[in-house]
Chain A
Amino acid sequence: MIDIRDVLVSFGSGSHRIDAVRAVSFFVEAGETFGLVGESGCGKSTLLRAIAGLQAIAAGSVSLAGHAVGPSRTRAERRLVQMVFQDPYGSLNPTHTVDRILAEPLAIQRLDKVDQRIDRALGEVGMGSQHRFRYPHQISGGQRQRVAIARALIMEPKILLLDEPTSALDLSVQAEILNLLKRVARDRGLTMLMVSHDLAVIAHMCSRIAVMKGGEIVETLPVDRLRRGEADDGYTRELLSSSLEAKRPG
């Protein structure tokens, strides 16, 4: 479903050029949830933006659902991939109601039955019509993230890109959102690519994981190997032990 080959993303030019993503390749099966982990500055969000078409790539190729996508995307190609960002407060327009936030992408994609689609999308994320005419500041952080997810789902995408979707949320709200994402992925047969710095969240959600460092993937491993602590790469082991260290008193 997602096929990334030797993708290079760089910023600046000449001696100021920085390669944020260097020759990264991976493949995500249809219906699979794939995780990208790494620390700040490792290029994981940049890579996600490149797949979403928000960031131009300098070399390599991105194929989605079997078709290579270029720098300018058709309306159908844009609809295919939707993204959910870290901070719902930043990603929802504060001057638009939930209704308008959800109606706008429908208008852009020239879809019909707007009312029905909005109701259905809100219902799917566990919100009701009583929230439809509220502004983002009138609902809780968890509800805002639900609206952001509804905005992505309303396009009926095949691929959902998740950039730290729960790291701005409380623990109890995180559990609700993660359960919601798992459920919609299963119900709709979505392919998800999730970026996080939290190994526990990634392990809970994903079947396979790629660990990034300095713009490169240092290791790709199935989640059960991660759970058993069987990482080959030194950096993966370091991440794993730091995450476990916080759990068990030293």
Chain B
Amino acid sequence: MPLLQIEDLHVSYQGRTGPVPAVRGISFALERERLGIVGESGSGKSTIGRAILGLLPPSASVTAAQMRLHDIDLLRADQRTLRRIRGKRISMVLQDPKYSLNPVMTVGRQIAESYRVHTRASATEAKRKALEMLEAVRIDNPERVYDLYPHEVSGGMGQRVMIAMMLIPEPELLIADEPTSALDVTVQAQLLVLINELIVRRGMGLILISHNLDLVASFCDRVVVMYAGRVMETCKASELDRARHPYTKGLLACRPLIDRARPELPQLARDPAWLDGPVAA
């Protein structure tokens, strides 16, 4: 049985003039692998991550033929079950640590809290675990950093803290929604290497949501390309440069390249047929 199974997921938001569809019939199964979801803004990629965790606002209506974590039906799970799944079995890292960390609590206490919520460990035990985790995300001086507030750490360090906090309950699945987009390129690379190591070592599944094709291609095993709430194609990440769908091809072509000069970038011509037409096998 796959770790996560999603079949025909639809999400729509209530708009002033009727429901606005955001996700229209998405299906995929996730093993213990690294799956990338790429797409441009409005493609529905972030909505999928939130739908899995049941974090969409009440105005969103979610339907699916199936949405399961192992044998747990995420669609019909009550709030109590969902609370036990969030963090403990599936956790999520968001784009900007500035907004996702509690500004009035030291980072160490936040990590320790995330452990205690799920394990009933003592305060001392949780602190010891948190320090270990800070070390695992390669923070040089864990004792010192433990007592810092979020505004006292850099963006890269804040995101390491976020990752520590998300991985300390040892979830099976990490959903990372643009985890490095707010960071500098040199920091991005280090952080991705770190996430990769932790994921592989713990045998976890990863869903990496990003607008960055290159990042997803180099980091994941499989890539799902989304457009207007639908999957245009799914392929092996290593074969993304041989993508078949015109949307994927168009996106790949319009990237500026460091090593090649071009007078003009090819522009993506959006085909209305992509909205409801056939998708690449």
Q: Which residues of A line the B interface, CB within 8 A? A: 39-40, 141, 170-176, 178-179, 182, 197-201, 203-205, 223-224, 226-229, 238-240, 242-250
Q: How far is the CA of A175 from the CA of B187 in the complex (A)?
A: 25
Q: What's the nearest-Cβ distance from chain B to residue A187, in Å?
A: 14
Contact A179 B184 (CB under 8 A): no
Tell whether B119 is near chain A: CB-to-CB under 8 Å: no
Contact A182 B184 (CB under 8 A): no
Chain B residues 229-281 with CB under 8 Å of chain A are: 237-238, 250-251, 254-268
Tell whether B215 is near chain A: CB-to-CB under 8 Å: yes
Contact A246 B189 (CB under 8 A): yes
Number of B interface residues at 8 Å Cβ cutoff, please give it: 36
Q: How far is the CA of A194 from the CA of B267 in the complex (A)?
A: 21
List chain A residues, Cβ under 8 A from B261: 203-204, 223-224, 227
Q: How far is the CA of A114 from the CA of B211 in the complex (A)?
A: 40
Contact B267 A171 (CB under 8 A): no
List chain B residues, Cβ under 8 A from A174: 254, 256
Q: How far is the CA of A58 from the CA of B48 in the complex (A)?
A: 50
Contact A171 B213 (CB under 8 A): yes
A170-B41, A182-B263 given; name 11 further pairs at CB < 8 Å: A172-B251, A172-B267, A173-B40, A176-B267, A200-B256, A203-B261, A205-B256, A239-B185, A240-B258, A244-B259, A250-B218
List chain B residues, Cβ under 8 A from A205: 256
Task: Tell whether A39 pairs with B186 under 8 Å between CB atoms, given A175-B254, A203-B256.
Answer: yes
Q: How far is the CA of A182 from the CA of B257 in the complex (A)?
A: 16
Q: What's the nearest-Cβ distance from chain A to residue B274, in Å?
A: 12
Against A, the Cβ 8 Å flags (1 = close, 0 = not) of B18-38 are 000000000000000000000
In the A-B complex, list the 6 residue pairs whose CB atoms are closest, starting with the nearest: A204-B256, A175-B254, A172-B268, A39-B184, A170-B40, A175-B265
List chain A residues, Cβ under 8 A from B256: 174-175, 178, 198, 200-201, 203-205
Q: What's the nearest-Cβ distance from chain A to residue B252, in Å?
A: 9
Tell whether B133 is near chain A: CB-to-CB under 8 Å: no
Q: Which of A39, A176, A178, A246 contacts B215 (CB 8 A)?
A: A246
List chain B residues, Cβ under 8 A from A197: 184-185
Q: What's the nearest-Cβ distance from chain A to residue B253, in Å?
A: 9
